[in-house]
Amino acid sequence: MPNGSLDRWLHMDVHVSHQLQGLTLLQRLNIAVDIADALDYLHNNCEPPIIHCDLKPSNILLNEDLVAHVGDFGLAKILSEPSTEQLINSKSSVGIRGTIGYVAPEYGEGGQVSSCGDVYSFGIVILELFIGMAPTHDMFRDGLTLQRHAKNAFPGMLMQIVEPVLLSTEEAYASSLQDGSNIMEHGSNNAIFSVMKIALSCSRHAPTERMCMKDAATVIHRIRDGYVKIRQNEEVATAAYNARHFAETSRPAP
């Protein structure tokens, strides 16, 4: 893929790669939608269902338009059992499937592969997408995980742990609008808050407490579309304001 992996964009070395800039909020929301749609398709539109088992940023590839594609199905499993509940409650001797930090906790406890495992990995990837820290970061030790880090900050201190590059790009965009405070308060902050709430729900420890992928995809679509609508309204208002201002300043003096 022309733009490489999502991991490359989230953890780029700005001193080495001057061409790359941080992903904007809209780009991150679009990527979250793409990943959710891909997993929803695998879980609910393939017959029999397919479980990826190794979702992580390095396995998510971006094309020239930054559309995300889920790749590397080397650990994928085709489900032969229609009952998700039976899969969750059964045990497997296969061992851990996936990558440390992204793999569902039940897999480490001998739990059977299920769509809930992919949902957990999806939640961790979305947390990383908006916080900018991998679950294997050095700060995550002694019981502190990326999921717990986000949960501890939610909701009151959430914006303090969001990736600084994301906030700076959004503030720069807001400054170009006539009412930038509106897009930040009702658009950007609300979208980040809402998508992080979904990520926390998807990454709960107990499989039965997680959202299903179809519901997560539906809500993330709604979050992205709501943010886009606010952006469009603010851009139209700014264009109208600029047009009026130009007309007034261009009017000949009496």
Pick from 7-16, 127-136, 143-152, 190-199: least confident: 7-16
Question: Is 142 one of the annotated active-site residues of the chain?
Answer: no
Q: Roughly how many angstroms between the first and final C-alpha of the chain, as a whole number?
A: 61
For residues 20 and 214, the answer to whether their CB atoms sit within 8 Å is: no
pLDDT: is 51 or 244 the higher one? Answer: 51
Would you give the distance in Å from CA 171 to the centre of its chain? 20
**Which of 107-111, 142-146, 175-179, 219-223 is least confident?**
175-179
Number of separate domains in the chain: 1
CATH code, domain with 121: 1.10.510.10
In a domain, 226, yes or no: yes
Q: Which entry of 7, 54, 138, 215 is annotated as an active-site residue?
A: 54
The band of 243, judged by pLDDT with boundaries at 50, 70 and 90, is confident
Say if residues 59 and 84 touch (Cβ distance below 8 Å): no
Q: What confidence tens digit (pLDDT) does each residue in 164-204 have?
A: 999 998 888 888 887 767 777 778 999 999 999 999 999 99
The answer to whether residue 1 sits within a structural domain is no
Q: φ, ψ for residue 138 (rounded to 5)?
A: -60, -30
Asked, for residue 134, whether it belongs to a domain, the answer is: yes
Provide the pLDDT confidence category of residue 88 given band limits of 50, 70 and 90: very low
- Domain membership of residue 179 (yes or no) is yes
**Neighbouring C-beta atoms of residue 138, cutoff 10 Å:** 7
Residue in this structure with the two tokens 């085709």, named with its chain if needed: 78
Residue 52 resides in a domain: yes
Domain assignment of residue 97, yes or no: yes
Q: Is the pLDDT of residue 62 over 90?
A: yes
Range of the domain at 36: 6-250
Nearest residue to 96 (alpha-carbon basis) of 88, 86, 106, 87? 106
- The answer as to whether 157 is a domain residue is yes
* Average pLDDT, rounded, for the chain: 88
